[in-house]
């Protein structure tokens, strides 16, 4: 038999949800002028910074327009300078009373008129230069490029809907997910107090942590149809593992529960008497004690009952025990403590409990790596077993939390596969085998 010790630990309270990843910013790169596409200066999927030249259009038409505007400016500027010289001469003559005042006034009006013409010409030059610069298509934002939408030689028009290429800003990456409204007061209290709410993104199978981040804001209303509140978090995506519109499993750490009575998750059984653990007493006998389940953090399950810190509970082989049976302890199991685990609701090298990959209406679930809903009693936990004397109870072959006797008769390759499973996978495997045996009349 394997046993584990009852401990008093600080456990992390988490909520599991399905999140949708969205780019922080998305921009469709479009040409601002018409022209033939002469060059593409990017590679599909490339990371670019704002201002990087992505494409070049035929600039000859716009170069000619700029040259024409500059010529017009030079012509009118020369006339303006000549009119200014004439005005100076007229004023000198007026001082000598050699010409009429009206002639000076007319010349002053001509100077102002030509000055306005020169200013308009300068605006035409600036506009032509701007249009010419638009033949160099640049990235409006920094981010990752998508697939190109045009080919070399194509006639590109300003405002084409598809554009040339799309840029998505994915560092950091935003994620939207929903949590039950029962958690809203706690979340709001944390955010108002300036406390951060840690978020982790996991892959579909809950085997690999993809990114970490923090909640930045909440929606302004609860969804009446689902009873959930949407949250937005920003995730560090420097590794580029996250993509816009991708679904991901989210774990939100709400709180840390202090001084919780905890046992290894493999010690928890379930049967006709409810949820229970098998205690290996000092006199070498087994004693069954019912417990209520709380939060799960990694390999530790919070429980309420008559257990005391330091007591030993059976983690493997409980299916062969009854109340009062002799317990032969072969080894003691000590899972990594929550404080030693860098992940929310999991331990390094261990497979966290899977979260459904479907987007349920509730938007979030309280899974193995979290706590039960506020105000609700725990209804599920690791381990499935019947009570003492019942079918599959300790001493029988039906407990899903231990190793059934027929396990020794499995083919070596199957036994090795079962050995490498996580506790949750083994329980599911044993349960399936029992159902098959029961269906076959064995």
Neighbouring CB atoms inside 10 A of 223's CB total: 15
- CA pair distance 87, 106, nearest whole angstrom: 9
CATH code, domain with 81: 1.10.287
Q: Can you tell me which residue has the tokens 């506020």?
A: 374
Residue 69 in any domain: the answer is yes
Q: Can you tell me which residue has the tokens 């083919």?
A: 411
Element (H, E) at 79: helix 60-95
172 close to 213: Cβ distance less than 8 angstroms: yes
The pLDDT score that the predictor gives to residue 436 is: 59
The pLDDT score that the predictor gives to residue 356 is: 35
Residue 68 in any domain: the answer is yes
Residue 231 in any domain: the answer is no
pLDDT 10s per residue in the chain (442 long)? Answer: 788 888 888 888 888 899 999 999 999 999 999 999 999 999 999 999 999 999 999 999 999 999 999 999 999 999 999 999 999 999 999 999 889 999 999 999 999 999 999 999 999 999 999 999 999 999 999 999 999 999 999 999 998 899 999 999 998 999 999 999 999 999 999 999 888 899 999 988 888 889 999 999 999 999 999 999 999 999 999 888 899 999 999 999 888 888 889 999 888 988 888 899 889 888 888 888 889 998 888 788 889 988 889 888 888 877 777 788 888 777 887 787 775 554 444 333 333 333 333 333 344 444 333 443 333 333 333 333 333 333 334 433 333 344 455 555 566 656 666 666 666 667 677 766 666 555 544 4
The pLDDT score that the predictor gives to residue 219 is: 94
Q: Can you tell me which residue has the tokens 């006639």?
A: 155
The pLDDT score that the predictor gives to residue 252 is: 92
- CA pair distance 167, 11, nearest whole angstrom: 42
Neighbouring CB atoms inside 10 A of 66's CB total: 21
116 and 152 in a single domain? The answer is no
116 and 80 in a single domain? The answer is yes
426 close to 418: Cβ distance less than 8 angstroms: yes
Residue at which a domain ends, from 116, 134, 152: 134
Q: For residue 200, what are the β-bridge partners?
A: 212, 251
The pLDDT score that the predictor gives to residue 4 is: 86
127 and 102 in a single domain? The answer is yes
The pLDDT score that the predictor gives to residue 317 is: 79
CA torsion through residues 133, 137, 141, 142, sign: negative
CATH code, domain with 48: 2.40.50.100
122 and 77 in a single domain? The answer is yes
Percentages helix, strand, coil for the chain (3-state, rounded to 5) are: 25, 35, 40
The pLDDT score that the predictor gives to residue 164 is: 95
145 and 50 in a single domain? The answer is yes
Residue 203 in any domain: the answer is no
CA torsion through residues 32, 37, 38, 42, sign: positive
Residue at which a domain ends, from 91, 114, 134: 134
97 and 158 in a single domain? The answer is no
Residue 77 in any domain: the answer is yes
39 and 106 in a single domain? The answer is no
pTM of the complete model: 0.59
Residue 51 in any domain: the answer is yes
69 and 93 in a single domain? The answer is yes
The pLDDT score that the predictor gives to residue 353 is: 38
Domain boundaries, position 125: 59-134
The pLDDT score that the predictor gives to residue 351 is: 36
Residue 38 CB partners (closer than 8 Å, separation 6+)? 56, 57, 58, 152
82 and 126 in a single domain? The answer is yes
64 and 130 in a single domain? The answer is yes
83 and 145 in a single domain? The answer is no
Picking from 279, 29, 290, 286, the residue whose alpha carbon sits closest to that of residue 160 is: 29
In SS3 terms, 160-184 reads as CCCCCEEEEEEEEEEEEEEEEHHHH
Residue 400 in any domain: the answer is no
106 and 76 in a single domain? The answer is yes
- Helices 101-133 and 60-95: crossing angle, nearest 10°? 160
Q: Give the number of domains in the chain.
A: 2
6 close to 310: Cβ distance less than 8 angstroms: yes
Residue 95 CB partners (closer than 8 Å, separation 6+)? none
């Amino acid at each position: 038999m394997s046993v584990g010790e009852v401990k008093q630990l600080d456990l992390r309270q988490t909520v599991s949800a399905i999140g949708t990843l969205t780019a922080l910013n998305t921009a469709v790169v479009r040409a601002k002028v018409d022209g033939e596409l002469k060059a593409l200066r990017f590679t599909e999927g490339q990371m670019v910074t704002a201002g990087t030249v992505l494409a070049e259009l035929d600039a000859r038409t716009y170069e000619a327009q700029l040259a024409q505007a500059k010529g017009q400016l030079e012509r009118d500027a020369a006339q303006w300078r000549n009119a200014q010289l004439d005005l100076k001469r007229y004023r000198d003559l007026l001082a000598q009373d050699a010409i009429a005042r009206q002639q000076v006034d007319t010349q002053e009006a001509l100077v102002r008129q030509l000055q306005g013409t020169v200013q308009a010409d300068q605006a035409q030059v600036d506009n032509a230069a701007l249009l010419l610069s638009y033949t160099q298509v640049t990235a409006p934002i920094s981010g990752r490029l998508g697939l190109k939408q045009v080919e070399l030689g194509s006639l590109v028009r300003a405002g084409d809907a598809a554009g040339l290429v799309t840029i998505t800003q994915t560092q950091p990456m935003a994620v939207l997910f929903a949590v039950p409204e029962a958690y809203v007061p706690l979340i709001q209290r944390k955010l108002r107090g300036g406390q951060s709410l840690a978020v982790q993104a996991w892959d579909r199978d809950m085997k690999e942590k993809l990114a970490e981040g923090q909640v930045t804001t909440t929606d302004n209303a609860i969804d009446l149809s689902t009873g959930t509140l949407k949250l937005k978090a920003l995730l560090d995506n420097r590794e580029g593992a996250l993509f816009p519109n991708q679904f991901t499993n989210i774990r939100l750490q709400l709180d840390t529960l202090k001084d919780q009575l905890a046992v290894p998750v493999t010690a928890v059984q379930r049967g006709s008497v409810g949820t229970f653990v098998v205690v290996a007493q000092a006199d070498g006998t087994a004693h069954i004690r019912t417990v209520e389940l709380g939060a799960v953090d990694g390999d530790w399950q919070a429980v309420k009952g008559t257990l005391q810190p330091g007591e030993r509970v059976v983690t493997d082989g409980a299916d062969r025990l009854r109340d009062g049976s002799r317990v032969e302890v072969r080894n003691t199991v000590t899972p990594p403590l929550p404080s030693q685990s860098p992940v929310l609701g999991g331990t390094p090298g261990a497979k966290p409990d899977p979260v459904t990959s479907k987007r349920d209406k509730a938007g979030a679930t309280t899974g193995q790596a979290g706590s039960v809903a506020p105000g609700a009693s725990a209804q599920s936990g690791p381990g499935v077993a019947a009570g003492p004397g019942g079918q599959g109870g300790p001493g029988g072959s039906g407990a899903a939390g231990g190793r059934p006797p027929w396990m020794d008769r499995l083919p070596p390759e199957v036994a090795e596969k079962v050995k490498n499973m996580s506790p949750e996978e083994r329980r599911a495997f044993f349960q399936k085998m029992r159902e098959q045996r029961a269906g076959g009349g064995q």
